[in-house]
Chain A
Amino acid sequence: MMEQPRQPFFLWRHLNKLRLVTLSLVFIVLIIIPIFHVYQTFVAAHAYDLLAPSEKRLYDVAEFVTSPFTNEPAEDLDAVKGNTWSGKFWGLQLSDPLAVVSQIAASLSFYWPFILTALIPVILTILLGRFFCGWLCPAILIYELNSNFSAWLKLASLKLPNFQFDRRLKYGVLATGLILTSLVGSLLIATIYPPAIIGRELYFVIALDGFGIGVVIFIGTLLFDLLVARRGFCRYVCPGGALYSLLGRYRFLRIRRIAESCNDCAKCNAVCEFGLDPMKDDFGQECNNCTACMAICPTEAMTFTLRPTDYPAQGPGHLGRQRKRENNFEIREAAE
C-alpha cells in the first residue's frame, strides 16, 4: 500500500556526537596553543633553573608531551599558531571570511596575500553552508551548554523570557558593523565577534596577565541568550553567521526530511539550535548542517541530500496523526 521509505545512511545519526567531539577538540587546541607558546618562551630563554615551581611543572609536562615529536620546540612548535579567526597550520594560513571582509572595509584596500587565506573557508562555505557555526566555532560549544542550562532552568519552573526577533536582524548587524568599521578605520567587528574573542582571551589568560574585556562582552552575550532570547546571539545578532548564511545560500549539502517516514513528533524543531522548522522542510540559508535533528529523529526521517535549493514544503509526515486522520477520512469517503 505504501512504498518503502528511503533510509538514511546509518552513520549520519551519529554525526552529532562527532560534531561535539570536533567542537571540544577545537576548544582544547585553543587552550594548548598558548600553553605551548609559554613553553617555547621558556625554552628560548634557556633558564629552566630560574622558573617558578608552577612554571617548571608546565615546562616538564609540555616537554613530556612534545619530546617524541620535536627536538627543537622553540622552532617546531610554531607550526600551529593562531585561532579560528586566523590561524596557521603547518604553513597553511587560514582566515575567517569575516576577517577578510571587515579588513577590506576598514582599510579600503585589497591585500591579496591575506584575502587568499580565506579562499578555502569560502569555498567550503559555498559548498557546505554555514558549517563553521556548527562544527568549528569555539563559542558555539558554550552557547549550546548555555541553552541546555536554560532548558534545565525551565524544568526547575523558573520562567525566563524568550523573545523572538526577526532573523534578518543579523544582516543589519553585519552591514552596520562593516559601515562603522570602514568609517572608524579600525576592525570593530573583531572586538565583538565571539569566536575571535574566545581565541584571544584564552591566550590572554594563559600566557599574559589575565582576561581582557572580551570576556565581559562574551558573558554579556551569554546573558542575552539566557535572559532575552534563547540562542539569540547566533540567531539574530552574529555578523559572522550572517556572512556565512549569505555565502551558503546555494550550498549543495542540505538536510532533507523524508516525509514518508516522518511522524510529526516535532522533536527536530525542539533541538534545532537555530530555531528553524525542520518539519516544514524549507530551512532556508540559516541551517548549519549540525545534524542535531538527524540524531534525535525517532523514525530516521532526516537525511542529507545534494542539491542547491531546499525541498519545497512536503506537508505533514506520512506517519503523523493528521495524515492518518486525512487518510481515514479519504478511505471512509471512498467506501461511502
Chain B
Amino acid sequence: MDRRKFIKAMGASAAALVAPLPTQAARNKPSLRYLRPPGAHKEAEFLSKCIRCGQCGETCPNRCIKFFGFENGIASIGTPYITPREKACILCMKCGDVCPTGAIPKIEREANEILEKVDMGLAVVDEELCLSFQGKTCGVCYRACPLQDVAIKVGMLEQPHVKESCIGCGLCERSCIQMPQAIRIQPARQEA
C-alpha cells in the first residue's frame, strides 16, 4: 500500500508535468466544460482505467459521445466525453454494458439504479437568462427531463427548480430554447 501511495504521488507530479489536471491548469486558459459518460468513475480513476478503445462511442445510439484530442491535455487523448449542449446523454446505459475495462461500470437501465449510481453533474439555472424567470412561461427543460419531479420541479410560471437528485444527463441543457442556454450542467468530476 505504501509503495502504491508513493507511485501515486510520483504519478501526480509527473501528471502535473505532462498534463495539468483541469483544477491545476493555468487559470486563464480556456478549457472545455464536458461530462464523462454516465456512471463513469471520478476523473483520475477513469483516466487510469479507460483504454481508449472507443466502444462506448460506437454503441451510443445517440452518438453523443465524442473523443478528446489535445484539448484537455495529453493524459486524456482519446477518452470519451459529452458536450450536453450539442448532444446529451439519453441514459440508455449501453456504454456501461459495452465498456470492457470497467471505466464505465455496468448499470441497469432502471430509475432507482440510475439515480443511485449515475452522477455526471448537476443542472444549474441561470435566472437572468431563463425565460420563465423573466415572466415568459416556458418549461421546456422540465419536459425534457427523464426524471421529472425527481430531479427537477417547476414552480409558478413553469420556473424550474433543480433538486439534489439531478444526475446531470444534460437533456435539459440540450433542449433549452434560450440562447445561450439558461440551464447548464456543472460537471461532477471536478469534485473528485
Residue of A41, A184, A212 near B75 (CB, 8 A) is A184
State the CA gap A191–B145 with chains docked (Å).
Answer: 36
Q: How far is the CB of B8 from chain A (nearest CB, A)?
A: 7
Q: Is the CB of B52 within 8 A of A185?
A: no
Q: How far is the CB of A31 from chain B (nearest CB, A)?
A: 13
Against B, the Cβ 8 Å flags (1 = close, 0 = not) of A200-223 are 100110011100111000000000
Q: Is the CB of B78 within 8 A of A212?
A: yes
Q: How far is the CB of B93 from chain A (nearest CB, A)?
A: 13
Q: Is the CB of B7 within 8 A of A190?
A: no
Q: Is the CB of A83 within 8 A of B53?
A: yes
Instruction: Let me know if B157 is at the binding interface, CB within 8 A.
Output: no
Q: How far is the CB of B116 from chain A (nearest CB, A)?
A: 21
Instruction: Let me know if A124 is at the binding interface, CB within 8 A.
Output: no
If the complex has contacts A41-B62, A207-B63, A213-B70, are A103 and B15 also in contact, measured as CB distance less than 8 A?
no
State the CA gap A114–B189 with chains docked (Å).
Answer: 24
Q: Is the CB of A99 within 8 A of B49?
A: no
Chain A residues in contact with chain B, CB under 8 A? Answer: 33-34, 37-38, 40-41, 44, 74, 78, 81-83, 85-88, 93, 95, 99, 102-103, 106-108, 111, 113-114, 117, 180, 182-188, 190-191, 196, 199-200, 203-204, 207-209, 212-214
Q: Is the CB of A114 within 8 A of B53?
A: no
Against A, the Cβ 8 Å flags (1 = close, 0 = not) of B35-79 are 000000000110111111111011111110011011000111110
State the CA gap A213–B61 with chains docked (Å).
Answer: 25
If the complex has contacts A86-B53, A95-B100, A208-B66, are A74 and B61 also in contact, measured as CB distance less than 8 A?
yes
Q: How far is the CB of B45 from chain A (nearest CB, A)?
A: 7
Instruction: Let me know if B11 is at the binding interface, CB within 8 A.
Output: yes
State the CA gap A87–B55 with chains docked (Å).
Answer: 8
Which B residues touch A44, using CB under 8 A? 61-62
Q: Is the CB of B100 within 8 A of A187?
A: no
Q: Is the CB of A82 within 8 A of B55?
A: yes
In this complex, which of A34, A187, A200, A204 has the most chain B Cβ atoms within 10 angstroms of its Cβ?
A187
Tell me the chain B residues, 103-127 only, with Cβ under 8 Å from chain A. Answer: none
Which A residues touch B150, using CB under 8 A? none
Q: Is the CB of A102 within 8 A of B51?
A: yes
Q: What are the 3 closest A-B residue pairs judged by CB atoms, nearest first?
A: A186-B75, A86-B53, A183-B14
Instruction: Let me know if B19 is at the binding interface, CB within 8 A.
Output: yes
Residue of B14, B55, B58 near A184 (CB, 8 A) is B14
Task: Give the total of B residues in contact with A, Cβ under 8 Å.
Answer: 41
Which B residues touch A74, using CB under 8 A? 61
State the CA gap A107–B76 with chains docked (Å).
Answer: 14
Q: Is the CB of B69 within 8 A of A82?
A: no
Q: Is the CB of B47 within 8 A of A185?
A: yes
Q: Is the CB of B100 within 8 A of A186?
A: no
Q: How far is the CB of B58 from chain A (nearest CB, A)?
A: 5
Q: Is the CB of A107 within 8 A of B58?
A: no
Q: Is the CB of A81 within 8 A of B55?
A: yes
Instruction: Let me know if B101 is at the binding interface, CB within 8 A.
Output: yes
Which B residues touch A107, using CB under 8 A? 45, 48-49
Which B residues touch A106, using CB under 8 A? 47-49
Instruction: Let me know if B10 is at the binding interface, CB within 8 A.
Output: yes
Q: Is the CB of A86 within 8 A of B55?
A: yes
Which A residues touch B63, using CB under 8 A? 37-38, 41, 207-208
Which B residues touch A214, using CB under 8 A? 78
Which B residues touch A41, using CB under 8 A? 60-63
Instruction: Let me know if B102 is at the binding interface, CB within 8 A.
Output: yes
In this complex, which of A33, A41, A95, A103 has the most chain B Cβ atoms within 10 angstroms of its Cβ?
A103
Instruction: Let me know if B98 is at the binding interface, CB within 8 A.
Output: yes
Q: Is the CB of A190 within 8 A of B101?
A: no
State the CA gap A34–B8 with chains docked (Å).
Answer: 37
State the CA gap A37–B51 with chains docked (Å).
Answer: 20
Q: Whose C-beta in chain B lies nearest to the C-beta of A199?
A: B54
17 CB < 8 A contacts A-B: A85-B52, A87-B53, A87-B55, A99-B53, A111-B102, A114-B100, A114-B101, A183-B10, A184-B18, A186-B47, A187-B47, A190-B51, A196-B53, A200-B78, A208-B63, A212-B69, A214-B78
